[in-house]
Each structure stands twice: as C-alpha cells, then as structure tokens.
Amino acid sequence: MKLVLCAITLFLSINLFSQKTEVSTLIFSGTFIGGYVDNGAYLNFTGPGIKLQKGNSDLMIGVLPSLRFKEDKGITKNSFITPSLGIGITYTFKSLAIQIPFYYTSKTTVENGKWEMGIGIGLKINNLLTKNKTVK
C-alpha cells in the first residue's frame, strides 16, 4: 500500500510542478571574414578565443582557422588554396566584422619564415535559422 501511495504522489508531483522549457536548435552562429594578407586572399571563421562584449560590440583575440588563396610563382608550387591557422584580433559591431589577422609563412630554401599581418572585413551571423520547440 505504501508503495502505491508513493508512486501516486510521485506521479502527481511531476505533473503538477513540471515547467515548460523552450529549446532552440542553432543551425549556424559565428563570424566569417574575407581579407588580404601576403599578396593573397583569405577566408576564415573565427575560432576559440577571448571575447569582450559590451552592448552590440565584441572584441575577440583568438585563433583563426582559414583558407588562404595565393598563386605560388616559384618553380615548385603550392596549391592555390591552402588551409592555415592564424591568430588575430576581431572587432564586431552588430553584423559588421573587422579583423587584423597574423599568419605565419614557413621558411623556404630562399626565404626565412615570417609572420605576415593582414586586414579583413566580414559578417557576424548569430542565431540564423533557429527552430524553437517547447518541451514539457
């Protein structure tokens, strides 16, 4: 009898005190930027970093997973599109993003390795195509 009363009490308390929660599914959120560095172009998506936010403005210092587009004019050539990882500062205001990235160019037989600074502009996209669902 005690077991039946405990089960009924538990069942009623779950239904009486349950809360509705809204869950949203995020399809895409982030910043993508195109720019110029070392006589070529790049396209990156901001990666992990340290972000300071105030109102509609964000300032982020972090890593930048990127695709670099550059024609190699040497005898032996690299691919036109190469993956790269840079570091940099990204400032966003509402949907506009401005970035100063730094990419490392590896040494070759004729040049030493060096860091190259670039400039870029892009868009910040937050909560694009989200679906809201109420869960009981």
Q: Could you report the per-residue pLDDT of 79-132, keeping only the tens digit for each?
A: 899 999 999 999 999 889 999 999 998 887 788 989 999 999 999 887 444 455
Is 7 part of a structural domain of the chain?
no
Is 11 part of a structural domain of the chain?
no
3-state DSSP assignment of residue 101: strand
pLDDT of residue 129: 45
Is 1 part of a structural domain of the chain?
no
Is 61 part of a structural domain of the chain?
yes
Pick the most confident of 3-7, 8-12, 118-122.
118-122
What average pLDDT does the structure give for the chain? 81
Pick the most confident of 11-15, 64-68, 132-136.
64-68
pLDDT classification of 24: cutoffs 50, 70, 90 = low
- 110 contacts: CB under 8 Å, gap ≥ 6: none
Is 42 part of a structural domain of the chain?
yes
pLDDT of residue 76: 78
User: How many angstroms separate the CA atoms of 88 and 40, rounded?
Assistant: 17
Is 121 part of a structural domain of the chain?
yes
Is 112 part of a structural domain of the chain?
yes
Is 5 part of a structural domain of the chain?
no
For the stretch 45-70, pLDDT in tens is 888 899 999 988 999 999 999 999 98
Share of the chain above pLDDT 90, in %: 43
**Which residues form the domain of 50?**
20-135
Number of domains in the chain: 1
User: How many angstroms separate the CA atoms of 63 and 44, rounded?
Assistant: 10
In the block, residue with structure tokens 């679906």: 131
